[in-house]
Chain A
Amino acid sequence: MADTYEFSKEELEQIEKIKSKYPEVQSAVMPVLWLAQDKFGHVDSDVQKLVADTLGLPRAHVHGVATFYTQYYKEKMGKYVLDVCGSFSCQVCGAQEIIRHLEEKLGIKEGETTEDGMFSIREVECLGACGYAPMLQVTNDKYVNHLTKEKIDKLIEDLKAGKEPEFESMPVVYHQTSDS
């Protein structure tokens, strides 16, 4: 029910601050949805309603934004959401096997959440890390690249132990431009 979700006073202040950054309230929808997802773990229809009403925007509008992005969870998800890229580069580098392996390991199907609420598996579109294919993203955060079955096994163990993966992208190269 809608009334079980509420923003605290501090959060409301934060939302005001977000709003003041933009000329239009509409622009605040995305950051406020993030804020809500951080707090509640998802933005299901009741949370969407809360966001819309808090911002004074039509509920349909917020619903449209929330459903546009896979990164907003429209239902309760596992603590760790494993978004495995299934687009072209990852696909040809074995994304399907990775997904099958994950499914077997966790005993759920793609799109489902484990009973203990720890893990969800989803196949998503290109995450822009084709160079490290196959790869996955953990709960809209860290990328885990160059996946192998062994790497998956280790990841699951680590996550179960509460240990989040490290950043492992290529070292960032700062290019020196001529005048700086």
Chain B
Amino acid sequence: MPEIIIDNVRYEYEQPGKVLQFMLDQGLDLPYFCYHPSMSIPANCRQCLVKAGTPIVDRETGKPELDEDGNPKIRYFPKFMTACSLDMSDGMVVHTHVTSEEVRRAQADNLELILINHPLDCPICDQAGECPLQILTYKYGPEGSRFEHKKVHKPKRIQLGPRVVLDAERCINCTRCTRFTEEISKSNQLTIVARGDKNYPMTAPGETFDDPYSLNTVDICPVGALTSADFRFKARVWEMAQTPSIDITNGKGCNVDLWTRDNLVLRITPRYNKEINDHWMPDEGRMAYRQMNENRVSKPEIKLSASEHSKTSWNNALMTFVEQIEAHKPEEILVIGSPHAPVEDNFLLQQFFNKLGVSDTLFSPHITPGKGDDFLITDDEAPNTNGCRMLGLGEIDKKKLEAELKSDKYKMVVILTDDLFGRYEIEPSITEGKFTLTFATNYNATTKAADLIIPVTCSAEHTGSYVSVDGRIQRTLPAKETLYSNRRLNLEMSLSRLDHFGTKFDNWVSDRNRIDCIPAWEFLVRTAYEMNLKLGFESSREIMAKISDELPALNGVTYERMDEERGIQLDLKQIPAENVS
């Protein structure tokens, strides 16, 4: 197998590739800015310089020439090479800062050059704490600067587009952002303007950077030049806890990280998953953090009059639910699952009412034809349509739904976390005379119409599995506490530095913002207990174990596997394309 010698250590490689990527794959460290594994390689930042050479081959024998010690003689490239663009070749010798003082000097000097006009305003910069320039300068940079003249000034606080703000002085012109719009989102909205020390990224005159993927440039900008208009100055990176999750605003299931502080989700960023979203996600999905924090239903509510609800105790809510169920015959109950709720909740809803003798659980897909693109936005605006289909829930459209809601057949309606009234613009009066219960995360038109509202956890608060449009099942982890969960006791929850070191009594950590809600499945389990139905589950993990036993399509699916394999690709053939009911 061909081999390459990096800092006197021999590595074998199978695939041809670039030196930098190979080093990163081996866990070796080398500073770099402009290189990004998913984009073209411009080699313009010059930070990844290494000393490299190849063995001298004797032209006649075709064998490498050897020195006195019997080692192959190396012919070094006359200048340092950029490791990001340097192809590996058999026998290549590479020296980084580890074994070459010259390379170490080159890296430090290059950083000194990059920093000539950099404002060094880390204390007020959002990127601080997750800034490659900051990190690499600490690790590889010079102690000070020999450039003590006035810095070149460039535009600051430029609103490039609705979601992205530019500080051109911080830009190091790595062109990652422009390459992103050229190669990944293909909107071609950004370019580098001007030249020399005056250049910075910009849109064409009169155009705005409204690319539906624009915020990815903020993630990949290796400095604080591009920042998110929405997240600017909200929090320091190190104050937040970072929890892996998935995008619940469409059917793609982009992998994301939820960033929380004081039980508020402050931002959502993409998490790498080669199978789904690579390093990217649509801007829309990032705004979902607001629905996780704001306008939440906290504590059950019961309807007083057409326009008024009042909070009530969990006990009362549960008893009311039981009474209503007992007051109605099974065929009088309309049960509607939700493509917005996880597989576990839908499954439990179905099981619960099955046990009561309700034969059908329905759901209405949330699909807007034409909304999607060929990239990461889908027509499907819900994360779990395929999960509902897989469970065999009956699929109904708006017309059918209205007919059902209106029908005299039913005296009681149960809706799982889905704003059906809002998204279909259904009049609340349609369910007049029926007892309507909805599980809900947020206030909306459906909660307005409901007689009983059960507040439930959202994807940021529970563990739940969702099946994407492409048939990939993935789960979320709890990122923020509810009134009944505890960050330090729940081992699935991640801790931030503040959580690690803080106590409830510190004034810099806050215990507020905990919603009084429980997972929908838990409410159903409690009700089942009250009614002596056999439906005992302790956790959503147990529910998943049960589902994977029962559903052939989910055989062998466990949380462990989902975590390890970054989601499990299911056999799409086992997912019904549509269950018209």
Contact = CB atoms under 8 A, between A and B. Distances in A.
B188 A64 contact: no
B445 to A, nearest CB: 42
A22 interface: no
Q: Which 7 A-B pairs have the closest CB atoms?
A: A64-B191, A58-B188, A45-B205, A59-B204, A60-B191, A67-B193, A60-B204
B205 to A, nearest CB: 4
Given A48-B205, A67-B193, A68-B193, 16 more contacts: A45-B206, A49-B204, A49-B206, A58-B182, A58-B191, A60-B178, A60-B189, A60-B203, A62-B204, A63-B191, A63-B202, A63-B205, A64-B193, A67-B194, A67-B195, A68-B195
21 contacts: A45-B204, A45-B205, A45-B206, A49-B204, A49-B205, A58-B182, A58-B188, A58-B204, A59-B204, A59-B207, A60-B178, A60-B181, A60-B189, A60-B190, A60-B207, A63-B205, A64-B191, A64-B193, A67-B194, A68-B195, A69-B195
Interface in A15-73: 45, 48-49, 52, 58-64, 67-69
B192 interface: yes
A63 B190 CA distance: 10
Interface string B303-334: 00000000000000000000000000000000
Contact of A63 (B181, B182, B195, B204): B204
Interface in A82-124: none
Contacts of B194: 67-68
Interface of B: 178, 181-182, 188-195, 202-207
A49 B189 CA distance: 13
Contact of A61 (B188, B195, B205): B188
B184 to A, nearest CB: 14
B206 A61 contact: no
A59 B182 CA distance: 12
A117 B189 CA distance: 34
Contacts of B207: 59-60
B5 to A, nearest CB: 39
B103 to A, nearest CB: 31
A58 B183 CA distance: 13
Contacts of A52: 204
Contacts of A58: 182, 188-189, 191, 204
A57 to B, nearest CB: 8
Secondary structure at chain B's binding surface: helix, strand, loop or mixed? loop
A21 to B, nearest CB: 23
A67 B203 CA distance: 12
Contacts of A67: 193-195
Contacts of B195: 67-69
A60 B206 contact: no
B448 to A, nearest CB: 46
Q: Which one of A45, A58, A60 has the highest number of Cβ atoms from chain B below 10 Å of its Cβ?
A: A60
A120 to B, nearest CB: 19
A69 B196 CA distance: 11
A90 to B, nearest CB: 18
Contacts of A61: 188, 191
Contacts of A59: 204, 207
A61 B205 CA distance: 11
B171 to A, nearest CB: 14
Nearest to B204: A59
Nearest to B196: A125
Contacts of A63: 191, 193, 202, 204-205
A143 B191 CA distance: 32
A79 B530 CA distance: 91
A53 B235 CA distance: 43
Nearest to B187: A58
Contacts of A62: 204
A60 to B, nearest CB: 4
A62 B178 CA distance: 13
Contacts of B204: 45, 48-49, 52, 58-60, 62-63
Contacts of B181: 60
B279 to A, nearest CB: 22
Contact of B188 (A45, A48, A60): A60
Contacts of A49: 204-206
A68 B192 CA distance: 9
A33 B390 CA distance: 58
A52 B189 CA distance: 13
A7 B156 CA distance: 37
A70 to B, nearest CB: 8
B202 to A, nearest CB: 7
A91 B58 CA distance: 53
B198 to A, nearest CB: 9
Contacts of B206: 45, 49
A146 B395 CA distance: 85
Contacts of B192: 64
B209 to A, nearest CB: 9
B154 to A, nearest CB: 13
Nearest to A125: B196
B168 to A, nearest CB: 13
A62 B206 CA distance: 14
Nearest to A70: B195
A133 B551 CA distance: 85
B178 to A, nearest CB: 8
A63 B191 CA distance: 8
Nearest to A45: B205
A68 B203 CA distance: 14
B491 to A, nearest CB: 48
Contacts of A60: 178, 181, 188-191, 202-204, 207
A49 B206 CA distance: 10
Nearest to A44: B205
A48 B193 CA distance: 13
Contacts of B182: 58
Contacts of A48: 204-205
A48 B575 CA distance: 52
A174 B288 CA distance: 71
A64 B175 CA distance: 12
A176 to B, nearest CB: 33
Nearest to B203: A60
